[in-house]
Amino acid sequence: MIVFVHGRLPYAMLKPDPVLRNLLLSIPIRKIIFTNADKNHAVRVLNRLGLEDCVEGIICFETLNPINKENPSAADDIKPDTAILDINGYCSAVLDSELKLPSTPVVCKPFENAFEQVFKIAKINPQKTLFFDDSIRNLQTGKKMGLHAVWVGTSHRTDGVDYALESIHNIREALPELWEATDEKTKNIRYSGKISIETTVRA
C-alpha cells in the first residue's frame, strides 16, 4: 500500500522563527515531534523554521508504519501496483462514519494505538506529558489516553483540552511552570489551568 500524505507544499512560505526557537530551547524538558506526516516533511518544516535542533526526536508516519516490520528502511518492498491511501481522508471517513477498518489499518493520530506506540517508543508517561496539536480530534484522543492537551490555534478551550493557545508563542504566558523545571530529573510539573491571553508576535 502506498500512502499519500503530502502533495507539493509551499515550503518557501515558511521562514525562520527565532521567537519560537528561543522558547523551545529555554524549556528544560524533553520535546518530541509526533506527526502523521512523513519524516522528510517534518525535517523540511523544522529546517525552514530553524527548529531542527530544538527537539529530541521525530515520531512520524514511517516510525509507526514501517514498510517492512523487520527492516523498516526497506522501501524497495513497495509494489508499483498497490493502492494509494489518502491518510487525511482515511482518518476523517473512519471517524465520521461506520466505515469498517481494513485488516491492516494505518497507525496514525487520532487512533489510540498510535498514541500507545508513541508512549512506548519515547518512554513517555502520559500523565506527565503535554501534548500540543491543532486538531481537536487528536487532542481528545490524547486527553483520553492521559495526556495534558493543549489546543494550538484558538483561545477558546473546549471539552477534551486543558489549555488553548491562540499562538504557540503564548506558551510562556500560559504555562510558566515549564520553566520552573531545572533539569531532566524534575518530573512533577504543576499545571495552573490558565488560558493564555492572545498576543501578536511577528517573527
φ, ψ at 149 (rounded to 5°): -95, 130
- Contacts of residue 164, Cβ cutoff 8 Å, sequence gap at least 6: 150, 151, 154, 155, 156, 157, 158, 195, 196
- Tell me if 2 is assigned to some domain: no
| Of 21-25, 161-165, 169-173, 187-191, the least confident | 187-191
CB atoms within 10 A of CB 71: 10
- Tell me if 28 is assigned to some domain: yes
Give residue 47's identity as a one-letter amino acid code. Answer: N
The residue segments making up the domain with residue 54 are 11-65+106-187
Tens digit of pLDDT for each residue in 92-148? 555 555 555 554 579 999 999 999 999 999 999 999 999 999 999 999 999 999 999
- Tell me if 127 is assigned to some domain: yes
- Contacts of residue 95, Cβ cutoff 8 Å, sequence gap at least 6: 110, 137
Taking residues 148-156, report their average pLDDT.
95
Q: How many domains, the chain?
A: 1
The position carrying cell 486527553 is 143
- Tell me if 76 is assigned to some domain: no
Could you tell me the CATH number of the domain that includes residue 147?
3.40.50.1000
The Cα–Cα gap between 46 and 69 comes to 27
- Tell me if 114 is assigned to some domain: yes
Rg (CA), the chain: 18
Judge whether 19 and 170 are in contact, CB under 8 Å.
no
- Tell me if 73 is assigned to some domain: no
* 120 compared with 80, residue with greater pLDDT: 120
